[in-house]
A and B are shown apart, each in its own frame.
Chain A
Amino acid sequence: MNFSEVFKQSNQLCKVSPDGKYLATCVQYRLVVRDVETLQILQLYTCLDQISHMDWSSDSLFILCAMYKRGLVQVWSLEQPDWHCKIDEGSIGLVSSRWSPDGRHILNTTEFHLRVTVWSLCTKAVSYIKYPKACQKGIDFSRDGCYMALAERRDCKDFVSVFVCDDWHLLRHFETETQDLAGLEWSPNGCVLAVWDSCLEYKVLLYSLDGRLLSTYSAYEWSLGVKSVTWSPSSQFLAIGSYDEKVRILNHITWKKITQFEHPATINNTKAVVYKEVVKRPAVCSDDLSLHNITIGNTLFNTQSKYEICPTPVQLPVVKPDPDRANPKIGISTLAFSSDSRYLATKNDNMASVVWVWDVQKMSLVAVLEQTTAVRCFQWDPRRPRLALCTGNTKLYLWSPAGCVSVQVPTEGGFQVQSLNWHCSGDSLILLGKEQLCLCYMDNDQEDK
């Protein structure tokens, strides 16, 4: 495993182009595009203000830089560095900006969710979509980029509009049976739209592309409900994480629950492997206080850690949430299927330092990763069943069915990994610190061995 040198970045704005060739990073008001292989700067763009959001177009030709405070969006072309485009939302404000799947339109959501403005780069045309709903996930494009589902709120009722992304033709507009729609998500095959209600009510609705209600699922009533929803890449399963610390898996034929994964504080499952991160502080002996050691003193302050396999039963650390506060830190907030739909990684908010890995084939717990600190982020390798996670310290953790490893990021100045992103090839990882970034190259041959 190799690590690149550290680069500067700000706002954790750092993205690899969809084709995997370029790496775009934002440093204050500058946009830097590098070659992923060589890490040489290919282009340097200067924006009008500090960039708050940056995104690649789907064809990797354009980069969008949004400056929400100014209500400005600037688009840069990689092919034509002279080409420029500036979109000003004016006094109406801007809270969100995104590419349409074709990479020729920009959808801006104005402040107060007054409307969504669609700017076309081809025709310079502007279209407005009124009444977008301010919610967890109000807009979703289908995987093939044909359709866009938009949650709307009109006359105190929830609606879903399905647009054809090609010409923003409203294909379907239907009312949903929700009290307060919280989010929607297309299935990867783009034929089923999952809609879920706010946490006050456990309700998941499944709509066909043509607006027919396929199924309704509700696990329980009264207590806080759905917290997160994820489709499996194969569209076979819909995983629903909820406030009752369980993940329920629905199947795509009957839309009934296949199984549920519980996240107990004590693991009694003997088949599951519990990896516990153990921190070892380097012993400071009199011999070590030599000049040699002081020169490489940086590493001296870094703790070493490794995983130990704990025999079950294992007691996991649990933080009881404050019942008086809204959005209690309990329940499954993050769900992620591996690219082959074989594994599911989950995180229960009241056990923030634990990541659970489930085998979807066997419908059972495979591994539990107990970290010393709260897990910030985890992401599956887009090619292999390999999970990378970070906990805001100087280490990178990787899990695969073969085992678990903790890697010290060998950079100076205490690089703390706050977030990470896989390269689409799965060969490298982008590690994001507070102000820096670093690439981590996987030694795949070694991994395969």
Chain B
Amino acid sequence: MGEWWTTVPIGTSMGNYEISSISHVTMSPSRQNNLVSSLPLSRSSYNVISAFCTEDNMPQCISYINQELDSLGLCSTRIEASSPGGATINTVSALNAMYEIMTIHRRNMCNLEELEKDQLKTSSNLDHIQMNNSRLKDQLELSIREKSGLHETERQLQLKIKTLQSCLKTEKDEVQKLQSIIASRASQYSHDAKRKERETAKIKERLNQLLVDRKDKKLAMDVLNSVGRSDGKRSHWKTTKTTASHEGEMYKSLLNDYEVSQRSLMLENAELKKVLQQMKKEMIHILSPRPSRDDSRDQAESDGEEKVGDSSRETLDQSCEQAREQLTNSIRQQWRKLRNHMEKLDSQASKVQNQMESNKEVVQRETHEDEMERMRREVQQCKEFIHAQQQLLQQQLHTSFDDETAALLNDCYTLEEKERLKEEWRLFEDQKRNFERERKNFTDAAIRLGREKKAFEEDRASWLKNQFLNMTPFTDRRRCSSSDGQSALSIRSEPEMRMSSTKSPPAKSSTYAAFSTPKPTQSATVPSTTELYRTLRLIPDSSSSRHSKRGCWPESSTIEDGDFRVKSNRIRCGDLSIFSLGGDENSLT
């Protein structure tokens, strides 16, 4: 390429070709890359000689660059010479192109970076996977080795089993062989023994014969004189009679023996029978005098038994089979009865015992149970108490932690109720206070009224006196004296009074006049008189409610309205509580 750079300035005539070649060259991406990579190099080592653009090849350069730009897909931005064939270029388009290229370059760089990162990641991934792979391979190898080892051991074991089995087989064979050997030896031995025995028998026979044949001289008995038989009898000749008698003797003795044994057995039997009889009698005795619940059927049965027993006793000596059977049967029956009875008794006894035990315990148990119940109740109470205490404690704790939420958490309804109560209590308190105040006002007013009445009475009296005095010759003097008494106080009221006095005194005016006349203390409370009137007029109405309304909701004016308001307020309160609960719930959630 360097070569090319060097050749460029040599001749412009070759420019077209060169450019085409360059464009051709640029088609190959590797070269382009090279070009791109070499660009900064060329830029840094910029010199006139190797410069890309000189004043001479400006248009070619421009066209080349345009071509390049086209190839980059930047058709919109074309560098144009400001004047055809001129050395200057349109800077705007050039800058645009440059900018485009730069953006492209930046993007490329970014891409490159990303790709590099990706590559890094993938390479690391690859490493990891490779590692994993190798590890797994190792594991596989190990397991394969293990498997082979196990196979080996199994094979060995199997071999062992086989050998053992063969051993067992051989042992069995051995045993069988030995057994057969033993058997054969035994038979051989017995055979030999028999043979030997026969031989010895033969020898004995021969010996006997020899001894007999030899007529052993020594074989003799030398007796002084023969002795008599022990029984004193003479010996008998051996005859068939004697043999028969021997047989008879033998049988006699046998018979004797059997008789003896039979007698002993009979005796034993009799004894046993006696025992049975006794048992039976005793059983009957036990069973028959049964208490009241012994019904007639039982009685009859036992009577029957008695009869049977008697009969069996009669036949006892005969030892007849039937009688024996009867006896045993009856005994069996009796025994069964007795057993049942005994069982019953046993059960009863056990029951009684249980009862006794239970009776003993009953008192205790009842008290025990009572006590238990009481204690249980107490325990329950204590538990409840503890629970309540715990709750309260928790409530307290909760309230100390967070007033609102705790209260709401613990018991919204009670809280609401409490609040409502509190509210009502406050209302009530207010009402009470108002009522008190009003009562006080009223009493005050009543007192004032009384006083004013008195004053009025006095006034009237004085007026009547004046009138009377006016009519009388002592009018002036009297007027003076009276005016003297009130001079300081009623300077202004005097003309009024005069005026009123001039007029006929209606009730209204007189009252007004009377109001104006009071003592200086009363003059301070003058503005309250109106109120008094009003109150006097309003008391029979619901002053208290009005006051309460005024306390709560000053805007309300009428009773009905107020009542309604109260109601609505309550509803609102409920709503509020509900809302608050909802809010609480929301907060909870």
In the assembled complex, B238 has its CB within 8 A of some CB on chain A: yes
Decide if B216 touches A92 in the complex (CB within 8 Å).
yes
B204: A residues at CB distance < 8 A: 112-114
User: B219's contact among A89, A113, A124, A210, by CB below 8 Å, is which?
Assistant: A89
Among A39-47, A163-171, A276-284, the stretch in contact with B:
A163-171
Closest A residue to B219 by CB, please name it: A90
| B 229-249 contacts with A by CB, 8 A | 229-231, 235-236, 238, 242-243, 246-247, 249
In the assembled complex, B218 has its CB within 8 A of some CB on chain A: yes
The A-B contact count (CB < 8 A) is 119
Instruction: Tell whether A83 pairs with B224 under 8 Å between CB atoms, given A90-B218, A210-B250.
Output: yes
In the assembled complex, B198 has its CB within 8 A of some CB on chain A: yes
In the assembled complex, A119 has its CB within 8 A of some CB on chain B: yes
Q: What's the nearest-Cβ distance from chain A to residue B221, in Å?
A: 5
A209: B residues at CB distance < 8 A: 250, 253-254, 257
In the assembled complex, A405 has its CB within 8 A of some CB on chain B: no
Bound form: Cα–Cα A123–B221 in Å? 11
Closest A residue to B217 by CB, please name it: A90
Bound form: Cα–Cα A91–B246 in Å? 35
Interface size class of B (residues with CB under 8 A): 35 or more
Decide if A124 touches B226 in the complex (CB within 8 Å).
yes
Q: What's the nearest-Cβ distance from chain B to residue A85, in Å?
A: 4
Instruction: Tell whether A112 pairs with B253 under 8 Å between CB atoms, given A87-B221, A169-B242.
Output: no
Give the most central of B193, B217, B254, B260: most A CB within 10 Å: B254
Closest B residue to A86 by CB, please name it: B222
In the assembled complex, A191 has its CB within 8 A of some CB on chain B: yes
Bound form: Cα–Cα A18–B129 in Å? 117
B254: A residues at CB distance < 8 A: 191, 208-210
Decide if A171 touches B247 in the complex (CB within 8 Å).
yes
Decide if A169 touches B218 in the complex (CB within 8 Å).
no
Q: What's the nearest-Cβ distance from chain B to residue A6, in Å?
A: 35
| B 19-75 contacts with A by CB, 8 A | none
User: B235's contact among A82, A92, A122, A210, by CB below 8 Å, is which?
Assistant: A122
Instruction: Tell whether A124 pairs with B249 under 8 Å between CB atoms, given A112-B204, A112-B207, A210-B254.
Output: no
In the assembled complex, A84 has its CB within 8 A of some CB on chain B: yes
Decide if A84 touches B229 in the complex (CB within 8 Å).
no
Bound form: Cα–Cα A153–B194 in Å? 11
Instruction: Tell whether A121 pairs with B257 under 8 Å between CB atoms, given A86-B221, A164-B249, A169-B243.
Output: no
Bound form: Cα–Cα A253–B236 in Å? 38
Bound form: Cα–Cα A91–B219 in Å? 8
Q: What's the nearest-Cβ distance from chain B to residue A181, in Å?
A: 13
| B 247-270 contacts with A by CB, 8 A | 247, 249-251, 253-254, 257, 260
B227: A residues at CB distance < 8 A: 62, 77, 83, 104, 121-122
Closest B residue to A88 by CB, please name it: B218
Decide if B224 touches A82 in the complex (CB within 8 Å).
yes
In the assembled complex, B539 has its CB within 8 A of some CB on chain A: no
Instruction: Tell whether A88 pairs with B230 under 8 Å between CB atoms, given A191-B257, A209-B250.
Output: no
A86: B residues at CB distance < 8 A: 221-223
In the assembled complex, A126 has its CB within 8 A of some CB on chain B: yes
Instruction: Tell whether A85 pairs with B238 under 8 Å between CB atoms, given A91-B211, A104-B229, A191-B254.
Output: no
Bound form: Cα–Cα A82–B227 in Å? 13
| A 188-211 contacts with B by CB, 8 A | 189-191, 208-210
B253: A residues at CB distance < 8 A: 144, 146, 190-191, 209
Closest B residue to A211 by CB, please name it: B250
Bound form: Cα–Cα A126–B223 in Å? 13
Closest A residue to B265 by CB, please name it: A253
In the assembled complex, A103 has its CB within 8 A of some CB on chain B: yes
Decide if A114 touches B208 in the complex (CB within 8 Å).
yes
A83: B residues at CB distance < 8 A: 224-225, 227
Decide if B219 touches A92 in the complex (CB within 8 Å).
yes
Bound form: Cα–Cα A156–B189 in Å? 13
Decide if A189 touches B223 in the complex (CB within 8 Å).
no
Q: What's the nearest-Cβ distance from chain A to residue B72, in Å?
A: 115
**What does the 1/0 interface line of A130-155 toward B look like (CB < 8 Å)?**
11000000000000101100000111
Q: What's the nearest-Cβ distance from chain B to residue A427, in Å?
A: 27
B404: A residues at CB distance < 8 A: none
Decide if A156 touches B219 in the complex (CB within 8 Å).
no
Instruction: Tell whether A85 pairs with B243 under 8 Å between CB atoms, given A104-B229, A146-B253, A209-B254.
Output: no
A155: B residues at CB distance < 8 A: 198, 201
B198: A residues at CB distance < 8 A: 155-156
Decide if B208 touches A171 in the complex (CB within 8 Å).
no
Bound form: Cα–Cα A164–B225 in Å? 25
**What does the 1/0 interface line of B393-424 toward A look like (CB < 8 Å)?**
00000000000000000000000000000000
Bound form: Cα–Cα A379–B92 in Å? 153
Q: What's the nearest-Cβ distance from chain B to residue A149, in Å?
A: 13
User: B221's contact among A119, A147, A153, A167, by CB below 8 Å, is which?
Assistant: A119
Closest B residue to A77 by CB, please name it: B227
In the assembled complex, B228 has its CB within 8 A of some CB on chain A: yes
Instruction: Tell whether A121 pairs with B223 under 8 Å between CB atoms, given A88-B218, A209-B254.
Output: yes
Q: What's the nearest-Cβ distance from chain B to residue A175, in Å?
A: 15
Give the most central of A77, A85, A103, A144: most B CB within 10 Å: A85
Decide if A122 touches B226 in the complex (CB within 8 Å).
yes
Decide if A84 touches B238 in the complex (CB within 8 Å).
no
User: A153's contact among B197, B222, B230, B238, by CB below 8 Å, is which?
Assistant: B197
B208: A residues at CB distance < 8 A: 114-115, 130
Decide if B216 touches A85 in the complex (CB within 8 Å).
no
Q: What's the nearest-Cβ distance from chain B to residue A91, in Å?
A: 6
Closest B residue to A114 by CB, please name it: B204
In the assembled complex, B220 has its CB within 8 A of some CB on chain A: yes
In the assembled complex, A19 has its CB within 8 A of some CB on chain B: no
B207: A residues at CB distance < 8 A: 92, 112, 114
Q: What's the nearest-Cβ distance from chain A to residue B497, in Å?
A: 143
Bound form: Cα–Cα A126–B221 in Å? 9
Decide if A59 touches B230 in the complex (CB within 8 Å).
yes
B226: A residues at CB distance < 8 A: 121-124
A288: B residues at CB distance < 8 A: none
Closest A residue to B194 by CB, please name it: A156
Q: What's the nearest-Cβ distance from chain A to residue B208, in Å?
A: 6
A91: B residues at CB distance < 8 A: 211, 216, 218
Q: What's the nearest-Cβ distance from chain B to residue A319, in Å?
A: 29
**What does the 1/0 interface line of A103-114 toward B look like (CB < 8 Å)?**
110000000111
In the assembled complex, A443 has its CB within 8 A of some CB on chain B: no
Instruction: Tell whether A169 pairs with B246 under 8 Å between CB atoms, given A86-B221, A88-B218, A156-B194.
Output: yes
Bound form: Cα–Cα A189–B257 in Å? 8
In the assembled complex, A58 has its CB within 8 A of some CB on chain B: yes
| A 203-221 contacts with B by CB, 8 A | 208-210
In the assembled complex, A262 has its CB within 8 A of some CB on chain B: no
Bound form: Cα–Cα A131–B246 in Å? 23
Instruction: Tell whether A92 pairs with B211 under 8 Å between CB atoms, given A124-B221, A167-B238.
Output: yes
Closest A residue to B197 by CB, please name it: A156
Decide if A102 touches B230 in the complex (CB within 8 Å).
yes
Bound form: Cα–Cα A191–B262 in Å? 14
B242: A residues at CB distance < 8 A: 167, 169
Bound form: Cα–Cα A82–B251 in Å? 42
Instruction: Tell whether A167 pairs with B235 under 8 Å between CB atoms, given A122-B228, A146-B253, A156-B197.
Output: yes
A-B contact pairs, 10 of them (CB 8 A): A84-B223, A85-B221, A92-B211, A114-B204, A123-B226, A146-B253, A167-B246, A189-B257, A191-B257, A209-B253
Known: A191-B254, A208-B254. 6 other contacts (CB 8 A): A86-B221, A88-B221, A90-B211, A102-B231, A122-B226, A167-B235
Sorted nearest first, the 8 A-B pairs with minimum C-beta distance are A90-B218, A90-B219, A191-B257, A90-B216, A86-B222, A85-B223, A156-B194, A87-B221
